[in-house]
Amino acid sequence: MDVSYLYSTLNSGLVIADTDTFLSEGKRHWPDCKTRSVGSVDRETDVEILLDPDGASTIISHFSDGQLISVDGADLEEAAEIAVWVRSLNPDPSLVLWFTIDNFDGHTVLTPGITPQQVIEQWVDHREHDPYVEYPEYFS
């Protein structure tokens, strides 16, 4: 089963990163990556970073509103490392940024300075903690 990892801001109007920052910081972090524009009327994403363009690639997609970044083709450890990079794109502590997966069965709050290990260890299981009850300010 293919899992999509998501990095989403829960603050209305705040962005993780604009397109130019996403691309320039991606190229700085992964010098051998490839980038491509994918924006169209039918897609919500505008650009992608391909981490291993010559093989089975991990693809990091930037959504045009700047409030969501997704990753496909990564395992949990790589997704946690990418989560740290995503958080570094906007270190403003007022930005509420969550790491989750496409079925939304849990999350980790990505705080400035978080490590990949903390991303994994701080996972909150939504079967035990209902985010709609515990964080109504984000889901009303």
Q: Which residue has the tokens 């363009």?
A: 53
Of residues 133 and 56, more confidently modeled: 133
Alpha helices in the chain (DSSP H): 19-29, 76-89, 116-121, 131-134, 136-139
- pLDDT (tens digit per residue) in 36-95: 998 666 668 899 999 986 667 899 999 999 999 999 999 999 999 999 999 999 999 999
- pLDDT (tens digit per residue) in 103-122: 999 999 999 999 999 999 99
For residue 45, how far is the Cα from the chain centroid?
13
For residue 19, how far is the Cα from the chain centroid?
14
Instruction: Show the CA angle centred on residue 54, arms to residues 103 and 90, nearest 5°.
Output: 50
* pTM of this structure: 0.91
Q: Give the bridge partners for 124, in sequence order.
A: 107
Q: In the prediction, which pLDDT does 89 show?
A: 97
- pLDDT (tens digit per residue) in 4-25: 999 999 987 899 999 999 999 9
pLDDT band (50, 70, 90) for residue 139: confident
Please check the confidence at residue 1 and state whether its pLDDT lies above 60.
no
State how far the Cα of 127 lies from the Cα of 52, in Å rounded to an integer: 35
In sequence order, which residues have a C-beta less than 8 Å from that of residue 50 and are 6 or more positions away? 33, 34, 35, 36, 57, 58, 59
